[in-house]
Amino acid sequence: MRMYDLIIKKRNGLELTKKEINYFVQNYTKGNIPDYQASAFLMAIYFQKMNMRETADLTMAIVESGDILDLSKIKGIKVDKHSTGGVGDTTSLVLTPMVAALGIPVAKMSGRGLGHTGGTIDKLESFNGFSVEITEEQFINNVNNKNIAIIGQTADLAPADKKIYALRDVTGTVDNISLISSSIMSKKIAAGADAIVLDVKVGDGAFMKTYEDAKELGSAMVNIGKNIGRNTVAVISDMDQPLGLAIGNALEVKEAINTLTGKGPKDLLELCLTLGSNMVVFAKKANTVDEARKMLLKTIEDGSAIAKFKEFIEAQGGDISQLEDTDKLPKAKYIVPVKSDREGYVTKINAQNIGLVAMELGAGRATKESIIDLAVGIILNKKRGEKVAKGDIIAYIHSNNESNIEKATKGILQNYKIEKEYTENIPLVYDVVR
Ligand code: URA
Ligand code: CA
């Protein structure tokens, strides 16, 4: 087989075989195919597209390029959840203990990414002593005994994706549905998921800007799942404003604790119930999502969700006195209200830009080397559709550096759109693709 022939074949709009797709993925990962040929090939895929079968084969080829986590020693159906990325997305922190409280195994391997805030691991490190440096054996034991554990990335998962993604990033070939969906699904499958619940965000704070694009991506991933025998569902949810009220690491941990004790923001809870109920059904602990939703709500009402969270934090070395008294979580030196300079209704909160303001305060990493400040971030005080008077507080800045407050204030004011009327009715959950 020659790479040259595969480029011509795809360029001419023909369907690639499984063998050909494997040939490309294996040899590009090993360094046997030069970037210029891989670039041409990706561009051919970009224009000529791949069908469902090719996309499923590409996904499995990427999975097989590296380690596949063996979770077979964990009893039960392992259901994973993945979000395509939003701002202030606290769902994982809330969902995982709720689901685990129902006896469903939650086995998460996570890395640390770039972004507006840290990833789930960074957020959890708001608890003194909390560590994801556990052995795989400990990890599996914890999941079997407590139904929940999180481990830092130890295995070399989907190395082909790292290489291909880096090339796509610089060759204008990121936004192709087959390439995106195989990239996301391969990582979940390599991490050992038996079933997958996807949260596909739509809006200006998301990768997918329109409902149509988000639905297409969701459907593609559900189809991959169908093709490779992993139950998959995609929830299409709003990211035209940040989710919940908190954007920042310790701030989101506190928001998660509030939500687990029934005092959290409604939108965050609602999305957790929608995603979680699908996880519960996949895990075969309920027959319908309605039944699952009731079971999940009960974990909040009867205290089992927060008890599970506490058990999880303690098992991984975290100081649970900070959970009992959230004033002990990392706290910023300055908490500064941002006041509206107009009256009207909040019609839009630009999630992307608000996320960047949080990152500049130190809540997220701009580069891999950046150090996160767990204490800082933003608490929204008004959300879309709410009425504000001039002088009302729309948000609070949590900062450890007096000199960045003015810029953050401006950034928040600029990205809150306040108008005479609010007539739009953007849903939190647009659709669930099965
Ligand atoms: N996120 C991914 O993991 N992969 C893509 O290709 C795009 C977004
Ligand atoms: Ca939030």
Q: What is the pLDDT of residues 291-325, one digit of tens each?
A: 999 999 999 999 999 999 999 999 999 999 999 99
Percent of the chain whose pLDDT exceeds 70: 100
pLDDT tens digits, one per residue of 381-402:
999 999 999 999 999 999 999 9
pLDDT at 114 over 80: no
Q: How far is CA 171 from CA 11, 65, 368, 428, in A?
A: 16, 22, 21, 34
The two structure tokens encoding residue 142: 């914890």
- The ligand placed nearest to the CA atom of residue 168 is 1
Q: How far is CA 205 from CA 28, 201, 241, in A?
A: 33, 8, 7
Percent of the chain whose pLDDT exceeds 90: 93
- Which among 170, 180, 165 has a CA at the least distance from the CA of 50? 180
pLDDT tens digits, one per residue of 63-104:
999 999 999 999 999 999 999 988 989 999 999 999 999 999
User: Helix, strand or coil for residue 212?
Assistant: helix
Atom of ligand 1 nearest to the CA of 165: 6
- Ligand 2 centre from 146 Cα, in Å? 26
- Which among 69, 106, 105, 76 has a CA at the least distance from the CA of 91? 106
Looking at this protein, which amino acid is placed at residue 208? M
Q: What distance in Å separates the CA atoms of residue 210 and residue 208, rounded to the nearest whole number?
A: 6
- Which among 47, 1, 56 has a CA at the least distance from the CA of 28? 1
- Ligand 2 centre from 320 Cα, in Å? 21
The two structure tokens encoding residue 387: 């009425």
pLDDT at 111 over 80: no
- Which among 219, 193, 252, 123 has a CA at the least distance from the CA of 434? 219
Per-residue model confidence (pLDDT) at position 204: 85
Q: Is 180 in the pocket of ligand 1 (CB under 6 A)?
A: yes
Q: Is 62 in the pocket of ligand 1 (CB under 6 A)?
A: no
Q: Is 292 in the pocket of ligand 1 (CB under 6 A)?
A: no
Q: Which residues are catalytic?
A: 82, 161, 168, 183, 187
pLDDT tens digits, one per residue of 235-245:
999 999 999 99
Q: Which of 180, 201, 216, 217 to mutate to test ligand 1, by most ligand atoms within 8 A of the CB atom? A: 180
Nearest CA to ligand 1 atom 3: 184
Q: What distance in Å separates the CA atoms of residue 290 and residue 284, rounded to the nearest whole number?
A: 13
Q: Is 50 in the pocket of ligand 1 (CB under 6 A)?
A: no
Q: What distance in Å separates the CA atoms of residue 429 and residue 196, rounded to the nearest whole number?
A: 18
Per-residue model confidence (pLDDT) at position 127: 98
- In the DSSP assignment, the letter for residue 421 is -
What phi and psi, each to the nearest 5 degrees, are found at residue 235?
A: -95, 125
Q: Which of 59, 84, 199 to mutate to test ligand 1, by most ligand atoms within 8 A of the CB atom? A: 84
Nearest CA to ligand 1 atom 1: 184
Nearest CA to ligand 1 atom 8: 180
- Ligand 2 centre from 395 Cα, in Å? 13
